[in-house]
């Protein structure tokens, strides 16, 4: 017999009977609805119906996910100053772009091009017209800037708007520089956006070589055939994002990423910790048919102090340091890492032979050759102190540990190719009237041997142009920047760990009575005399030509420090590229120690 419904307001002392009856009439349908079980919500977005995002428990069958990696914790030495892809000015930001955004295509670990937002593309016979067909199941991440907070489907017109925004005077010109001489009509559109301030006076309303021919089809027309076009589309500057956040938030995407990538931005703690969660609507699957990404969450921590960042890793607060600094590598290798044959003087044709030194990648045993193909635990050798290079994975195998490092037996170091040098150059058009020989006089104490002793790195290569200078050059420098001068010698560096650390070595090595200062700045103004520039590539295979104002070039491999239990982190020849979709845990997690102050 069904239980009678009792009116809880029937004898309420403060309600009249008529009002009590009216409230009962309102509550009764709610009780009935609650007894019918959960309902499925359908939201219409862009003319198509999309159901609510699946919960973590119901989105996949148990075999669709790799168990055991709830959170992947990454450490970066540079801060994420903006989550807007067009403001990706350092490698840490570009790596973040890779896992929360995607472009029409993406790079793989072999520098090849694979489909991403575009499921396929066609090229005309003359290689000038490129037609891309978008995935029909591609949605932007959920965000409050959308109706009801649900991400809408990606349209071809979103692609057009993204390229038009590259030409805006309100964003850096890095992205525009990639496509300026590639897409028909891009250059005149860009120049008018930059030079004509009032929109009513502009005559060019669109990029003539870019058209959305349907909701899911976009066509690019090139000025001439270009082999790197797809690689440019795979760069962090050409990823997809919606226009709604720019109308909803004053800061647009600077503090809140909204893309289509495998991980969705969730929240931040200040400007040093950023949290991302798995995108349950992501289309990707691995070769075993499992849904990607495998990890449930990413926590990204920015710590600019190199040794403090390593201490977080040592204590188990991080699984991965994406770009371990030279002091960290030296510490892990017991302070015995030697600079690799790269003390090179352009003015001496025999200098390469005279200054070449062998790299001994072993630590603690000089008799080893450093060529060990073991893959991580070295259990076959029984030698816990053995290290070596795996040519296939780039990993420097290290089963033991340096007692000074405190890392115990829980880490791997992976050597990463780095095609991008750090270049020290002087400003030809400086306002002090100083020339190249004067610049050489400023850094006369900054020798390759000094940098090698300060920057202990087993792959360091230094190309040093030892220019002629005289006492007259030194005198001119001191008149401009000496103790009695009103001016200070400014050494500027752009954003990244390498220029920042190298800048410290150079400024500390100058004459003590020179007034000098080191600043982080991207604009090479006439007040800056010396500039440390990190020449960063966004397309594989780029060669950075030497310039007349170049004084010194420093090249070094990059090193990734990983928790031994984490696998599936993929890299390629570009130092900012990192694929985290396959990241998984192969053993028990370390118990983290107490959290450090950042």
**Cis, peptide link before residue 119, omega less than 30° from 0:** no
d(CA 328, CA 307) in angstroms, rounded, equals 7
Calpha distance 152→455 (Å, rounded): 49
Q: Where is pLDDT greater, at 306 or 134?
A: 134
Return the structure tokens found at 295. Answer: 């990890």
Contact 83, 265 (CB under 8 A): yes
How far, in Å, CA of 152 to CA of 137, rounded? 10
> Measured between alpha carbons, how far is 425 from 428 in angstroms, rounded to an integer?
9
In sequence order, what DSSP letters do the residues of 487-542 get, joined into one string?
--EEEEE-SSHHHHHHHHHHHHHS-TTS-EEEEE-SS--TT-SEEEEE---SSTT-
- 381-420 pLDDT, tens digit each: 333 333 444 444 455 544 344 545 555 567 899 988 788 9
pLDDT of 208 over the 50 cut: yes
CB atoms within 10 A of CB 114: 11
Query: What mean pLDDT comes out for the span 480-504?
Result: 88
Whether residue 80 contacts residue 301, with contact meaning beta carbons closer than 8 Å, is answered with: no
Q: How confident is the model at residue 374 (pLDDT cuts 50, 70, 90)?
A: very low
Rg (CA), the chain: 29
Q: Are strands 273-278 and 217-221 parallel, antiparallel or unpaired?
A: unpaired
CA-based torsion, 14, 18, 20, 22: positive or negative: negative
**55 pLDDT higher than 70:** no
Band (pLDDT 50/70/90 cuts) for residue 64 is low
Which residues on adjacent β-strands are paired with residue 285? 291
Integer Cα distance of 395 and 560 in angstroms: 9
Is the distance from CB of 399 to CB of 378 less than 8 angstroms? yes
Which residues lie closer than 8 Å to 198 by C-beta, 6 or more apart?
none
Same fold, 107-250 and 422-555: no
By C-alpha distance, which of 359, 449, 419 is closest to 571? Answer: 419
Strand order in the sheet with 489-493: 343-345, 461-464, 550-555, 422-426, 530-534, 489-493, 516-520
| C-alpha separations of 463 from 112, 436, 441, 472, 554 in Å | 31, 16, 17, 26, 6
| SS3 label, residue 199 | helix
Which stretches of 356-496 are DSSP H helices?
436-442, 448-454, 471-481
Q: 3-state DSSP call for residue 568?
A: coil
On the question of pLDDT at 355 being above 50, the answer is no
pLDDT tens profile 249-292: 999 999 999 999 999 999 999 889 999 999 999 999 999 999 99
Residue 354 contacts by C-beta under 8 Å, 6 or more apart in sequence? 348
Count of Cβ atoms closer than 10 Å to residue 380 Cβ: 7
Question: What average pLDDT does the chain have?
Answer: 80
Burial string for 339-350 (b: 16+ CB within 10 Å, else e) reads bbbbbbbeeeee
Quote the distance between the C-alpha of residue 171 and its chain's center.
18
Share of the chain above pLDDT 70, in %: 74
Work out the average pLDDT over 109-113. 96
**Does residue 519 have a pLDDT over 80?**
yes
- pLDDT band with cut points at 50, 70 and 90 for residue 58: very low
- Rounded to an integer, what distance in angstroms lies between the CA atom of residue 147 and that of residue 145? 7
Evaluate if residue 233 carries a pLDDT over 90.
Answer: yes
Q: Which of 48-52, 178-182, 525-529 shows the lowest per-residue confidence on average (mean pLDDT)?
A: 48-52
pLDDT-derived band at 124 (thresholds 50, 70, 90) equals very high
Ranked by mean pLDDT, which of 170-174, 353-357, 367-371 comes out on top?
170-174
Phi then psi for residue 265, to 5 deg, are -65, 135
β partners of residue 92: none
| 168/164 Cα distance (integer angstroms) | 7
List the structure tokens of 139: 């949605």
Tell me the pLDDT band of 497, cut-offs 50, 70 and 90: confident
Backbone angles phi, psi at 44, to 5 degrees: -90, 120
In the β-sheet with 210-214, what is the strand arrangement from edge to edge?
A: 118-123, 129-134, 217-221, 210-214
> Measuring CA to CA, which residue among 321, 561, 343 is closest to residue 455?
343
Collapsing DSSP to helix, strand or coil, 76 comes out as strand
CATH match of 107-250 with 3.90.76.10: yes
% of the chain at pLDDT higher than 90: 56
The four Cα atoms 78, 81, 84, 89 give a dihedral, to 10 degrees, of -50
pLDDT score recorded for residue 331: 85
- Mean pLDDT, rounded, for 56-79: 69
Q: Backbone phi, then psi, for 508, in 5-degree steps?
A: -70, -15
Domain boundaries, the chain: 107-250, 422-555
In whole angstroms, give the CA distance from residue 464 to residue 492: 19
DSSP 8-state secondary structure symbol assigned to residue 114: E
Residue entry with tokens 């691995």: 286
Q: What is the mean pLDDT of residues 151-163?
A: 97
CA distances from 279 to 53, 72, 80, 249 (A): 9, 15, 21, 22
Q: Give the Cα separation of 510 and 441 in Å (integer).
A: 10
- Looking at the predicted structure, is the pLDDT value of residue 95 above 60? yes
pLDDT of residue 108: 96
Q: Give the H/E segment covering residue 355.
A: helix 351-355
- Tell me if 182 sits within 8 A of 237, measured CB to CB: no
Q: What are the DSSP calls for 314-342, one per residue?
A: HTTS-SEEEEE-HHHHHHHTTT-----S-
Would the pTM count as exceeding 0.75? yes
> Are the C-beta atoms of 146 and 139 separated by less than 8 Å?
no
Round to whole Å and give the CA distance between 146 and 242.
Answer: 10
The CATH class given to the 422-555 domain equals alpha beta
DSSP-assigned letter for residue 224: S
CA torsion angle 584 587 591 596 (round to 10): -40
Q: Are the C-beta atoms of 207 and 191 separated by less than 8 Å?
A: no
Backbone angles phi, psi at 479, to 5 degrees: -65, -30
The band of 71, judged by pLDDT with boundaries at 50, 70 and 90, is very high
């Amino acid at each position: 017999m069904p239980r009678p419904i009792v009116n809880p307001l029937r004898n309420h002392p403060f309600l009249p009977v008529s009002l009590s009856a009216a409230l009962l009439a309102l509550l009764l349908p709610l009780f009935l609805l609650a007894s019918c079980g959960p309902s499925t919500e359908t939201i219409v977005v862009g003319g198509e119906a999309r159901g609510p995002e699946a919960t973590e428990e119901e989105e996949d069958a148990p075999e669709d996910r790799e168990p055991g990696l709830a959170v992947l914790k990454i450490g970066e030495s540079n801060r994420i100053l903006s989550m807007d892809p067009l403001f990706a000015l350092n490698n840490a930001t570009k790596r973040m772009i890779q896992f929360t955004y995607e472009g029409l295509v993406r790079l793989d670990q072999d520098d090849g091009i694979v489909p991403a937002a575009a499921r396929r593309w066609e090229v005309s016979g003359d290689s000038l017209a490129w037609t891309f067909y978008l995935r029909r199941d591609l949605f932007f991440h959920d965000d409050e800037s959308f109706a009801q907070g649900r991400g809408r489907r990606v349209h071809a017109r979103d692609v057009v708007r993204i390229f038009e925004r590259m030409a805006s005077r309100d964003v850096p010109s890095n992205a525009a520089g990639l496509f300026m001489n590639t897409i028909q009509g891009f250059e005149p559109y860009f120049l008018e956006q930059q030079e004509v301030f009032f929109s009513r006076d502009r005559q060019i309303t669109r990029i003539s070589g870019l058209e959305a021919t349907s909701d899911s089809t976009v066509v690019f027309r090139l000025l001439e055939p270009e082999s790197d076009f797809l690689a440019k589309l795979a760069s962090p500057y050409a990823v997809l994002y919606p226009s709604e956040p720019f109308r909803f938030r004053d800061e647009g995407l600077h503090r809140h990423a909204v893309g289509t990538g495998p991980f969705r931005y969730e929240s931040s703690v200040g400007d040093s910790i950023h949290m991302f969660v798995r995108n349950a609507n992501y289309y990707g699957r691995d070769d075993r048919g499992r849904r990607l990404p495998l990890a449930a969450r990413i926590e990204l921590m920015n710590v600019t102090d190199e040794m403090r960042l390593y201490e977080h890793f040592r204590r188990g607060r991080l699984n991965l340091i994406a770009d371990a600094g030279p002091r960290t590598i030296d510490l892990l290798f017991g302070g015995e890492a030697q600079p690799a044959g790269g003390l090179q003087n352009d003015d001496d044709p025999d200098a390469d032979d005279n200054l070449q030194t062998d790299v001994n990648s072993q630590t603690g045993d000089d008799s080893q050759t450093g060529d060990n193909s073991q893959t991580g635990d070295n259990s076959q050798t029984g030698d816990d102190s053995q290290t070596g290079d795996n040519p296939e994975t780039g990993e420097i195998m290290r089963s033991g540990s340096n007692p000074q490092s405190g890392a115990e037996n829980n880490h791997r170091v992976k050597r990463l190719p780095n095609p991008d040098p750090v270049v020290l150059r002087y400003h030809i058009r400086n306002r002090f009237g100083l020339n190249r020989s004067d610049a050489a006089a400023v850094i006369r104490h900054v020798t390759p041997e000094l940098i090698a002793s300060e920057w202990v790195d087993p792959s360091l290569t230094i190309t040093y142009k030892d220019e002629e200078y005289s006492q007259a050059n030194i005198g001119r420098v001191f008149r401009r920047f000496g103790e009695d001068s009103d001016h200070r010698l400014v050494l500027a560096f752009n954003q990244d760990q390498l220029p920042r650390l190298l800048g410290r070595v150079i400024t500390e090595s100058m004459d003590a009575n020179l007034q000098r200062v080191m600043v982080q700045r991207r604009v090479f103004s006439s007040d800056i005399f010396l500039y440390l520039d990190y020449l960063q590539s966004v397309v594989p295979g780029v060669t950075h030509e030497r310039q007349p104002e170049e004084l010194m070039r420093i090249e070094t491999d990059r090193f990734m420090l990983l928790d031994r239990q984490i696998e599936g982190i993929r890299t390629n020849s570009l130092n900012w590229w990192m694929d985290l979709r396959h990241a998984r845990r192969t053993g028990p997690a370390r118990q983290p120690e107490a959290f450090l102050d950042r």
